[in-house]
Structure 1
Amino acid sequence: MPGLIAHAQEMSGAPIAIGDAAGNGTHDGGSAHPAGEGAAPLSAAGDAPAPFDIRSTRHRLDSALAMPAYPQDHAAPSSSAPAVNAPLAGSSAPTASTPSLGTGTPGTGTPTASTPASGAVAAHTAPQQGQMVSRYLSELIAAQLPRFVVEPKDAQALADFYAARQYQPVFTAAGGYSPIGAAVLGTFAASALEGLAPADYTVPPLRAHASDGELAEAELRLAATTLLYARHVQSGRFDPKGINPEFVDPTPTVPDPTAVLALVSTSPNTSAAMASFAPQYDEYRLLKMQLAARLADGRGVPLAQVPAGPTLRPGDGDRRVPLLRARLGLQGAPDDFSYDDMLVDAVRQFQASAGQKPDGLVGPGTLAALNGTGSESLPDIIANMERWRWVPHEVAPVYVMVNIPEFMVRVVVNEQTIHETRVVVGTEKNQTPIMSAEMQYMVFNPSWNVPPGIIRNEMLPKLMADPYALERQGIDVVRNGRIVDPGTVNWSRGTQGYSFRQPPGERNALGNMKFMFPNKHSVYLHDTPSRALFARERRAFSHGCVRVHEPMKFAEVMFGLGVNDRWDQRRISGLLGGSEKHVSMQRRFPVHLVYFTTYVDGAGKLVSREDIYGTNAAVKAILGLDGSARVATRGRQTALR
């Protein structure tokens, strides 16, 4: 839709960068939102909207792809226009360059002990416009706050915030919106560029020369909507654990409503304050740029998807071939189903550009990448931006990030990748969980204490068929701290009272080392004796832990960041062999296990990966990006917040 970016910039006073995207590490060192507080208020259809209710039917996010029209009768503040709605003659208002907390003199029309009103004054002098806003605001908060907010914490924060400032308005001024209010409205207007739905943040416009009661209503509604927006853009619009509580277990940073109100009301740059609630990771910004570019040039007609099916090999005949040919920009007859050499070469070129093995085989991974290109990538961009809100909001100076669908781990310092390598992640049945924890120590020559789930589901059937099957794998059966002969146990009675341990050695499932970030899922990064799997394109083979390619190089990086830089690979190799050795991290840093199927690579290209666990499809379903309001394959409504 042409003109969206220009309109959003006009509304928010902040430029939206849609230039050439760079790879990992493009942080510009600060907010991309300069001062500029002007905005026109949002329009509303009909009566004032009810508060956003997590139990109510949600607006479709389809509206994020189309900015609404806004009335032009409320000009943004400028050097020649001191207020959004012009105040009455003789009144004062803050300018756009000096945002304030409001300039009204609330309560001056009400008699007090120190300034009693005479009968003559009361009979012949009416309060000037704006003088009763604080009184009406106090009454609204005391009696009608549930009309504006659903969350109890939000209600308490609003009540405390306005009581502390004696109910002086922040977002409105005499006759209209204050510069702070105008800037907040501009942020709401541009919310589609954050992958949000502007309809969720609709605030009724103020008519010219609004009454004090209308100003109080607008003040409270705008404050409440600010809290809703901050929560949505920072920590997401629904509880991710509702997708799959066993494996989807992130810890979003929900903003404190008291801190939100304090920041927005006191910041010298309101637009920058509002922008600070969005994820600050470079990869989020790169996705935002991709979304902005697509919205700006009107890429809204999706290309046909190439359906799933058997792996397509050179020389095969398949009815999907014409679609595949069209997706890659090749000419051909609609009834030509031959996967010929020309098309194979085009597929290989595409695979190479997408970071895949250029073998010409069109399997699930290649199809996912193909179907993730073009305008239909909009829902995927938005769904992946939503998952960035699941990552802790504070960007640590050092962190480890495992992107599960990409089968890669990266070590990031000051938003620059200093090391990356391949990983093997969990199967669809035994998924690697989405979560964050703190790297605390490393173990060399680890023993493998077999988890109960693997014992129950995999080892017990083997023992019942052959009591010595595990012994041949180098796994000891232990009872009361002593190794027992597995042939003397009646395994039909189960494994209760027994544990299973594989001592250090070449056959150990954990290899020579593991990297520990303690968590309730008992997952960690580790070496493996099954190194051939790293050559595979699709590497989902583990029981949930993350196997690391070239673990010595990874260990060297961990020592340099967490212990000291005097440990090179030669010195680390001296730890190998013999009994277990633990090395504690002197400097700890977070490990994020994340799930991004769409991201911007080092060359600035938008890349898509296979949705191996179905998590991306679930997010799109919850947000209504697939035309549904239900979680895919689970058939139940998921509440949004």
Structure 2
Amino acid sequence: MMLSTLLALWSVTTAAPDTAAVAAALRASIDAPSLVGARWSDFGDVREGVRAAYEARGWTPLWLNGQKLTPAAEAVLHELRTAHYRGLAPADYDADQIRAFSDSVPVWGDAGVGRADAWLSVAVARYAMALDRGRIDPRTLHPSLRLAREPFDAPRILSEVAAARQPAQVFRALEPSFYQYRRLQSLLVRYRLLAQDSSRLVLPDLPDRLRPGMAYRGAPQLRRLMTLVGDLRDRAEIDRAVEGDTLYSDALVRAVRSFQRRHGFSADGIIGDSTRSRFARTFGDRVRQIELSMERWRWLPRTFDAPPLIVNIPAFRLDALHGKEDLESETLSMDVVVGTAVKHDTPLLAVEMVALQFQPQWNVPLSIMRNEIRPKALKDSTYLESENYELLRGNVVVPITDSSIREIGAGVRVRQRAGPTNALGRVKFIMPNPEDIYLHDTPSRGHFARVRRDFSHGCIRVSDPAALAAFLLRHHAAWSRERVDSAMSGDSTIWVSLPKKIPVFLVYQSAEVRESGETFFHRDIYGHDRSLDRALLKGYPYRGPAPRG
């Protein structure tokens, strides 16, 4: 009797799924208010895309053949389990839960087939979208960052992944091809291994200021730390005996200077508060910093009408690319000055550069007119002339009088004439945008010698404007480097339209790997890393920006 019962149960649970019943189960799963068993059960972010994928295939399963996972599904589950190698959280995609439930599908029957298949489709859609454009819509954190991206085609991606012999290749094609992103992936693997043993970062108490040649009982641990992060390369110093060794040696000082330089502060080899605070950051902290930078790279478009200019704000650096896969040695790179933190943050932008203006005049922004120039002019009647400013009512120049000075910002505007003291220097790079941000030369060259360079009112000052102008005009037959230099040293205001609009991205990548292999962890000068981290911790579904009223 017992044997016959077991055989009856076996015949029921191994029977071929009923097509109509499975279709009904799929519809029920997609129509349900939440995804039972999922970590993030509200799947409104991908519901309609997943629905469209099933409608296109007549509500047949994508991932199960009968009651068993397909080879593609098995490969996808492996991909989801290893999402941390892409800077994503495996727990967000429920691979282990989906595997466990799919193993129980024979017990659940057709309803189980539908639920397991829909669950995996939701996980794949979310994972693929995260690789393609990130989890956060950048406008939720940066309203000024308006990126042109095609809508995510979930039905096509789900179909391609399910049909692929190697689903990983479909996923890899979704990721950015920027060399900076690829290097961050490799760095992430390395720092995850370092983070597995947090004791490697523990140093004995440091004195208030550890100077070269002083004794420090933690010298062996410091040597180990500097070796792990790649700043100590002196083989003899790495291999030296450490018992009783307390000298803050020349080799260790060189390593600390390298560490300081890579973390964005003065490389003097003296370990004070700033260096000590960087030593206190765990490898886990650095893993998260890398992950945040990878998320931001995924925000960017994959194709461009022309090679872009990329300004990395916390790195104070501009890279002019010949193509998106350029090596660092193939780009024009230079230091920049960005907006002062807290007061004048440079916004993240995606704009197009359309022209250059040699010997520009400066139409002073309203806030600077009211808050800076007007008070100075009221205090010193010679200030405007000494700084080469003129006053205008509409487009008509008016005399500088007590009355016109009092009207600055209220009917009277300020313009600075072209010349050696003009705040825009000898050339302005025009890229129209509502925030009125642009690149320009500057007569204030001293700031480029500083390690931290956030000193502007928001616009970007470039350290080598002539080289940038020549680069942008390299395909303009009438503009040789000699003519650029002549315009830079002349006294005529000249407008030059670019032959082709150049995409410009003002980005915020606090972790990067240079072509030399050096890793740079930049300061979070505007607090954007903290904001992005908080937004990501909220989990799926990540909401888009609120509609503007």
Are the aligned partners of 1:300 and 1:376 in contact in 2 as well (CA < 8 Å)? no
Tell me how far 1:376 sits from its aligned partner: 4.3
Deviations 1:134-178 (A, max 9, x none): 432454167426548756573333333322221121122112122
Structure 1 residues 613 and 172, CA gap change in structure 2 (3 angstroms):
same
- C-alpha separation in 2, matches of 1:570 and 1:427: 34
The answer to whether the aligner puts 1:426 opposite 2:339 as a matched pair is yes
Question: Equivalences for 1:241-640 in 2 at 5 Å?
Answer: 241-243=139-141, 245=143, 249=145, 251=147, 253=149, 255-267=152-164, 269-296=166-193, 299-301=196-198, 303-304=201-202, 314=211, 326-329=221-224, 344-351=253-260, 358-360=267-269, 374=283, 376-394=285-303, 398-414=307-323, 415-416=325-326, 417=328, 418-428=331-341, 429-489=343-403, 495-560=409-474, 563-564=475-476, 567-576=479-488, 577-624=490-537
Task: Please name the residue that 2:110 is paired with.
Answer: 212
Tell me how far 1:552 sits from its aligned partner: 0.9
- C-alpha separation in 1, matches of 2:277 and 2:321: 27
- C-alpha separation in 2, matches of 1:480 and 1:451: 14
Task: Please name the residue that 2:47 is paired with.
Answer: 155
Task: Please name the residue that 2:28 is paired with.
Answer: 140
Q: Secondary structure at the match of 1:398?
A: coil
Tell me how far 1:325 sits from its aligned partner: 8.5
- C-alpha separation in 2, matches of 1:524 and 1:316: 47
- C-alpha separation in 2, matches of 1:565 and 1:369: 50
Tell me how far 1:441 sits from its aligned partner: 1.6
Are the aligned partners of 1:141 and 1:159 in contact in 2 as well (CA < 8 Å)? no
Structure 1 residues 128 and 359, CA gap change in structure 2 (3 angstroms):
closer
Deviations 1:543-580 (A, max 9, x none): 111111121111111112xx336743212233343443
The one of 167, 170, 173 equivalent to 2:59 is 167
More helix by share: 2
Q: Which amino acid is 1:204 matched to? A: I
- C-alpha separation in 1, matches of 2:207 and 2:417: 44
Are the aligned partners of 2:321 and 2:332 in contact in 1 as well (CA < 8 Å)? yes
Bigger shift: residues 369-378 or 164-173: 369-378
Structure 1 residues 565 and 266, CA gap change in structure 2 (3 angstroms):
farther
Task: Please name the residue that 2:230 is paired with.
Answer: none
Structure 1 residues 252 and 623, CA gap change in structure 2 (3 angstroms):
farther
Q: Secondary structure at the match of 2:428?
A: strand
Give 5+ residue unaligned stretches, structure 1.
Answer: 1-87, 90-125, 631-637
Q: Aligned pair count?
A: 498
Give 5+ residue unaligned stretches, structure 2.
Answer: 1-9, 227-241, 545-549
Tell me how far 1:473 sits from its aligned partner: 0.6
Percent identity over the alignment is 29
- C-alpha separation in 2, matches of 1:306 and 1:567: 60
Deviations 1:67-110 (A, max 9, x none): xxxxxxxxxxxxxxxxxxxxx99xxxxxxxxxxxxxxxxxxxxx
Structure 1 residues 197 and 438, CA gap change in structure 2 (3 angstroms):
same
Q: Which amino acid is 1:175 matched to? A: Q
Q: Secondary structure at the match of 2:60?
A: coil
TM-score, length of structure 2 as denominator length: 0.78
Q: Secondary structure at the match of 2:19?
A: coil
RMSD: 3.9
- C-alpha separation in 2, matches of 1:374 and 1:142: 40
Q: Which amino acid is 2:133 matched to? A: S
- C-alpha separation in 2, matches of 1:306 and 1:543: 42
The answer to whether the aligner puts 1:181 opposite 2:78 as a matched pair is no
Task: Please name the residue that 2:4 is paired with.
Answer: none
Structure 1 residues 379 and 306, CA gap change in structure 2 (3 angstroms):
farther
Are the aligned partners of 1:384 and 1:598 in contact in 2 as well (CA < 8 Å)? yes
